[in-house]
Structures are given as structure tokens and as C-alpha cells.
């Protein structure tokens, strides 16, 4: 079936529900001692999302996936959750060879209530 599946094959409501449940069961929170998560919709007034992969949907799918249905990047999801969400890549890619984008990310991280880093 590799290469022969279409969005119609994998984007049914049944498959989407199964994928969501698998994702929920696969998430592991290692530590939340200060109780920052889940983010509060009422208390989080401003948010900075930092990281080169925060808005790269295909990158986050990995190297083994079927046809994508409706990709929502971490940035897009957080923008729906917190209206005042700003994005700063911080690096050009995950190798982060250059620090030329650090300054903007750090400066703006200090201006918001909450920062989420996506690498």
C-alpha cells in the first residue's frame, strides 16, 4: 500500500479519531512541578512561540507518514488558543549553526506572559 494511499483513505472521521487518541496516549509529560501546563486560556494573555519547527507541518510528521489530512502546526494550534501569539524562529533550522536570530527571540520572550519552545 505504500504510495497508494490517498487522503480519502486516511482522512475519514474514524481514522482521525483513532490518530487523535493515539497521540493523546503517546504524549508523556516528564515534569510539571510548577503547574505551567495546561496553559490557561484566561491567564495566558500573551505567548511567544520560539523554534524553527513551530510552523513546519511536514517536518513534524517525520519521515514515515501517509498523505497528510489537515496539518495544524504547533504555532497554528497555539494561535487558536491564545489570540496574542507571536512567532520567532530563533534559529534557521534545528542544527542552529548561526545565532543571528537569537536576539529577536530573546528580546520578545521577555515581553510575553508565556514562552513555548518547539525544536
Confidence (pLDDT) at 65: 72
Cβ 5 vs Cβ 66: under 8 Å: yes
pLDDT of the residue at 58: 80
The model's confidence at residue 109, banded by pLDDT at 50, 70 and 90, is: very high
The number of folded domains in the chain is 1
φ/ψ region of 35 (left if φ > 0, alpha if ψ in -120 to 50, else beta) reads left
Helix or strand holding residue 88 (H, E): strand 85-88
Does 15 map to a domain? no
Residue 55 counted as domain residue:
yes
Q: Say if 52 falls within a structural domain.
A: yes
Mean pLDDT of the residues in the chain = 88
Structural domain span for residue 106? 32-117
Amino acid at each position: 500500500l505504500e504510495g497508494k494511499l490517498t487522503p480519502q483513505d486516511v482522512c475519514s472521521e474514524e481514522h482521525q479519531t483513532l490518530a487523535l487518541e493515539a497521540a493523546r496516549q503517546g504524549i508523556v509529560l516528564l515534569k510539571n512541578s510548577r503547574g505551567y501546563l495546561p496553559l490557561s486560556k484566561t491567564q495566558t494573555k500573551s505567548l511567544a512561540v520560539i523554534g524553527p519547527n513551530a510552523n513546519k507541518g511536514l517536518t513534524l510528521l517525520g519521515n514515515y507518514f501517509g498523505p497528510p489530512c489537515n496539518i495544524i502546526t504547533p504555532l497554528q494550534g497555539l494561535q487558536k488558543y491564545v489570540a496574542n501569539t507571536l512567532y520567532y524562529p530563533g534559529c534557521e533550522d534545528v542544527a542552529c549553526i548561526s545565532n543571528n536570530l537569537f536576539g529577536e527571540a530573546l528580546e520578545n520572550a521577555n515581553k510575553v506572559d508565556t514562552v513555548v519552545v518547539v525544536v
